[in-house]
Amino acid sequence: MRISVVQMNQGSDKLANIEQARGLIGAALAADRPDVVSLPETWTNLGGGREARERAAEVLPEPGGMGGAAYEFMREVARQGVAVHGGSIIERGPDTLFNTTVMFDRTGTEIARYRKIHLFDITSPDGTGYRESALYGAGDRLVTCRLGDTVFGLTICYDMRFGEQYLALRKLGAAVIFVPSNFTLQTGRDHWEPLLKVRAIETQCWIVAAASWGGYEERGATRHVYGHSLIADPWGHVVAKCSDGLGWATARIDPAVTARVRRDMPVLEHRAARRVDMDAAGRVDIDAVRHGDMDASGCVGIDAVGRVDMDAAGRADMDAAGRGDRDDAGRAASGQKAGRAPH
């Protein structure tokens, strides 16, 4: 399976953003013939304030129903025979907006929908404040989906700082985890690639991170996002990466690599066999694993503030499942490349 991550420089004009995505996806399909294409976070809108985000928002349809412009564009692309991971778009819910991923199989059928759990409420090193929760509601469920024999886990941007969510997705069978992002330039320089590599190493999953790049206007000021879209293998090697500017990068996802990494270093089985618990006084107690709480649909429960089954001491209740692999060098098989947008 070949996956392309698409790197955009979207602004506040939704229709212009759709056309930008159309051109980049078309170029990636022509050059690399991927089986899956992945878009960045909120690729239909970046900047322009609350009003622009409200204009870009779409009510997502019931299965098989007619959606808005971005939803129908992604379904149209998928019907060309390529699965589409839709990064995220702005979903208009009954009472609030959500930062939401939708994914389509090669027939244009929606197979997954995920609302971002961890909202970006931080102050950056230069003092700029970001309050995603002022506009968006938080999701409350982990989501996986399947294409062929591959299980995909869905996350969005700031989620990457919460390793327990990624371990829970691994427990649910994920071999590939998507991380569409609008990572700020300041945090991206120091944290983007290290965090993604750590998520790949600790879960022994492929990490697929399509990102936005460049400047955008927000409340009279120009802000910048980092870009550097990448794909990392389960050993933590970056096997495909975009440079600055618009473009895409493509890698082949090799299940044999996953299987060897997990077989040769069975960290989740070791996690299950013996775990280290810290009580409130900070004392270490190694006990037997306790299984995570799962509902009837197989989703790991997330409470209203986005914690993954955490007890009072802050422990994540997750057991281990699945094995894996790598080749001698720990690298993905041949076929990785990056593309630049046509001028």
List the catalytic residues.
41, 116, 157
Cα 219 from chain centroid (whole Å)? 27
H or E element in which residue 275 lies: strand 275-278
Q: For residue 15, give the nearest of 49, 45, 37 by alpha carbon.
A: 45
What does the block give as tokens for 300?
Answer: 């790991």
Residue 284, strand partner residues: 278
Those residues whose C-beta lies under 8 Å from the C-beta of residue 62, and which sit 6 or more positions away, are none
What does the block give as tokens for 239?
Answer: 């096997």
Residue 217, strand partner residues: 222
DSSP single-letter state for residue 203: H
What does the block give as tokens for 80?
Answer: 């060309």
CA 151/CA 159 separation, integer angstroms: 19
Cα 59 from chain centroid (whole Å)? 21
Neighbouring CB atoms inside 10 A of 343's CB total: 5
Can you tell me which residue has the tokens 């953003």? 17
DSSP single-letter state for residue 133: G
Those residues whose C-beta lies under 8 Å from the C-beta of residue 54, and which sit 6 or more positions away, are 97
- Backbone phi, psi, residue 283, to 5°: -80, 145
